[in-house]
Chains A and B, each alone.
Chain A
Amino acid sequence: MADITTDQLTAYLAARMPTWHDLAIEGLSRLPMGASRETYRFDLIHTDAAGTRQRLQLILRRDPPASNVDSDRAHEFAAYRAIYGHGIPVPRMLLLEEDPAPLGGAISLAEDLRGFHNSEYLFQQPAWAPLLPHVARQMWGTMGRLAAVPVERLDLSFTRPATREGTAAAELAYWVASLDRHDIGPEPIIRAAIRRLERWQPVAAKLALVHGDFRAGNFLYDDAGNLQAVLDWEMAHCGDPLEDLAWSLTRSFCFGKDARRSGLAPHAEAVRLWEAASGLEADPQALWWWELFTCVKAQAIWNAAAHVWASGAGREVIHAYAAWWLRNTQDKAALELMGQLTETLP
């Protein structure tokens, strides 16, 4: 799909915002953010109803025709709106256009928080080493606070319903269905993991808004390592908050290529930070279940990325790269969690 042009966007916004006069777009550029959606940055200049010239810094996200994640603009837009103002920093959502006709796909507009970093790889540069304990407190502290937000206060009508007793089985069924739908070949390790997961599921200590992809690389931070905003809520749903913790612990996201989870802190320290912030206890057996579940969910996403190419639905380089780079790693992570990465004696 062709990138959005300045002329296209100007024409669309001028029609959509008739009270904004002399509208102009500056600096439209596509950002290298995420595999599932296209992300653009631009300045919007206009004259408001009071005759004052305004400049807005904006982020536009567009649904592609094929993605590795089954979500859409309306879902992520509603997720951001649900959590906005509840103590978890997120950009403010401004506009949702679900009609794909004007710009080649549904879009959302949000405020652009500029001047911050989002790279997971920056943390691995030597200069950042002294700051990593602080970044870890920021990341798992924010994740813990998200877990603690009472779901009764949130409008979660955008997401599939959940119960404490049923969320684990429901999430497993959801991602197994995704694996089946995006079949690119047999998965003996992941199928063995699924059989293990189907034998027993944990009951959630509480329900929470689960971000669904909370890890290094999906939040903005400043030069001091302070978390500024949590991004990429397209997989947000109501569920067990241990799901977010487990996702952040998976080996695929050990960007330091060592045991530090999300490239930031050891497993035990990450769990301790999350427990302190959430006020919840991460039951080891339940957390193990969600960590193994993470392997199934992640492999479903990497396979869906490969399936986009195999089916001819898309040719984004990041989909091929992610599948090549991550599928074997996810198998290896599942082997480790099932106690099969090293030979065991009878």
Chain B
Amino acid sequence: MKPDVSLAAAELARRLREELQPELTGFRANTAGMGAAMLDMIADAWDGAAARLVAENRALRALLQRGGDALAPEAAEEDLRISALTAANDRLRGQLIALHARIEQAEGPAARDLERAIWAFLRASVAARQIRSANF
């Protein structure tokens, strides 16, 4: 879509916040403010969403393979719609929970290395999903 979705969403957010919200009061003003904030989040996330999910899914598969997990066929990743990538991400994160719980109980340096790698992935994922307006 042209103009770019991120650009249009950011401009819509600004107008909603600066031009329309001041004309409203109470519950409606609050709804307009939240709508503007959500458009800002869309503007921030839109362009990089697919790339982030592809990178996360690759990293998740690598972690799961290190942990000896059987994985779904790679062909699933050929569908690059956000919904398909998110569904794959959810499946892989579900497997990661099981691996993480198992590795916490395992002994030895290899288990600790993998546990550190899991935490590093989770840390990177949270950083990549950071909301610009978040309190933390």
> Which residue of chain B lies nearest to A32 when distances are taken between CB atoms in the complex?
B30
Contact indicator B26/A251 (Cβ below 8 Å): no
Q: Let me know if B31 is at the binding interface, CB within 8 A.
A: yes
> Which residue of chain B lies nearest to A184 when distances are taken between CB atoms in the complex?
B90
Q: Which of B82-112 contact A (CB under 8 A)?
A: 86, 90, 93-94, 96-97, 100-101, 104, 112
Contact indicator B27/A335 (Cβ below 8 Å): no
Contact indicator B94/A254 (Cβ below 8 Å): no
Instruction: Give the contact-size bracket for chain A.
Output: 35 or more
A185 proximity list for chain B (CB < 8 A): 86, 90, 93
Q: Let me know if A329 is at the binding interface, CB within 8 A.
A: yes
Contact indicator B126/A332 (Cβ below 8 Å): yes
Decide: A321 near B136, CB < 8 A? Known: A332-B126, A335-B123, A340-B122: no
Contact indicator B122/A346 (Cβ below 8 Å): no
Q: Report the minimal beta-carbon distance from A331 to chain B, rounded to whole angstroms.
A: 5
Contact indicator B135/A189 (Cβ below 8 Å): no
Decide: A329 near B34, CB < 8 A? Known: A32-B27, A195-B104, A346-B116: no
Chain A-chain B contacts (Cβ-Cβ < 8 Å), number: 99
Contact indicator B100/A328 (Cβ below 8 Å): no
A31 proximity list for chain B (CB < 8 A): 26-27
Contact indicator B131/A343 (Cβ below 8 Å): no
Q: Which of B8-32 contact A (CB under 8 A)?
A: 26-27, 29-31
A-B interface, 4 closest residue pairs, ranked by CB to CB distance from nearest: A32-B30, A251-B136, A186-B93, A186-B94
- B residues adjacent to A (C-beta < 8 A): 26-27, 29-31, 34-35, 37-38, 41, 86, 90, 93-94, 96-97, 100-101, 104, 112-113, 116, 118-120, 122-123, 126, 129-131, 133-136
Write 17 A-B pairs (CB below 8 A) sorted by A numbering. A29-B27, A32-B26, A32-B30, A188-B97, A188-B122, A192-B100, A195-B101, A252-B136, A253-B135, A318-B31, A321-B38, A325-B37, A325-B41, A325-B134, A328-B134, A333-B136, A343-B120
